[in-house]
Amino acid sequence: GNSVTQMEGPVTLSEEAFLTINCTYTATGYPSLFWYVQYPGEGLQLLLKATKADDKGSNKGFEATYRKETTSFHLEKGSVQVSDSAVYFCALLYYGGSQGNLIFGKGTKLSVKP
Amino acid sequence: SAVISQKPSRDICQRGTSLTIQCQVDSQVTMMFWYRQQPGQSLTLIATANQGSEATYESGFVIDKFPISRPNLTFSTLTVSNMSPEDSSIYLCSGWGQETQYFGPGTRLLVL
């Protein structure tokens, strides 16, 4: 079946540290991949996406590359800020029948200390 | 990107009562969904809201507990019926458009 596995948190970093949040997936066919971010007390916001192998999604200094050979979509940022503290969700979109279905990982909580 | 709004943003309710959550999307959205996010958990799809017909529910969710309406393309409601403390969650409206799924800000529900 289709599934998403994220590294478990919480992840605690100092400001300006390098961030990697691992995400791997299992899917039939060629899904689209997404990272969503949920800031404290807010809903989900789309952070970035990639729709095919070797695509790189990027936004706000975050980036992730769709790696078909390793079935991965790891999220990276070179220098995190306190304002990046949030929960990050990796998600996979696959088509079952006539509609798309979004499957989420369990989320990784990131805390950035000044 | 699509714009999705929800109301209320939060509510505190007594057990046994019902709450209706409203969701408004802009015209770029074609499909609408309702999700639940229990405390500290990931998102679980409740149902797909179908325009002018009954919603399509996921396993574990039933129409009597979570009746959904979608009278037109851009508006949907989710009712949480006969609430219990276990229904305390964030309920998120979501819309599909431009090859991406967007989410509303969520409704934070606490049932006492």
Between residues 38 and 67 of chain A, which touch chain B (CB distance below 8 Å)?
A: 42-46, 49, 51
Record the tokens describing residue B71, joined without a space: 């009278």
- Report the gap between the CA of B77 and the closest CA in chain A (Å): 17
**Cα nearest neighbour of A88 on chain B:** B42
Find, among A35, A37, A11, the residue nearest to A23 by Cα: A35
Given 3-state DSSP classes, what are the helix, strand and coil percentages for chain B, each rounded to the nearest 5? 5, 55, 45
Average confidence (pLDDT) over B46-54: 91
pLDDT recorded at residue B41: 84
Q: Give per-10-residue mean pLDDT for chain A (114 aa).
A: 89 97 91 93 89 95 96 97 96 75 91 96
Does pLDDT of B27 surpass 90?
Answer: no
* Size of chain B in residues: 112
B104–A93: do the CB atoms touch at under 8 Å? no
Does pLDDT of B53 surpass 70?
Answer: yes
Tell me which chain B residues have a C-beta less than 8 angstroms from the C-beta of A102.
45, 94, 101
Share of chain B above pLDDT 90, in %: 71
pLDDT recorded at residue A56: 97
A43–B101: do the CB atoms touch at under 8 Å? no
Q: Where are the beta strands (DSSP E) in A41-84?
A: 44-50, 56-59, 62-65, 75-77
**Cα nearest neighbour of A51 on chain B:** B99
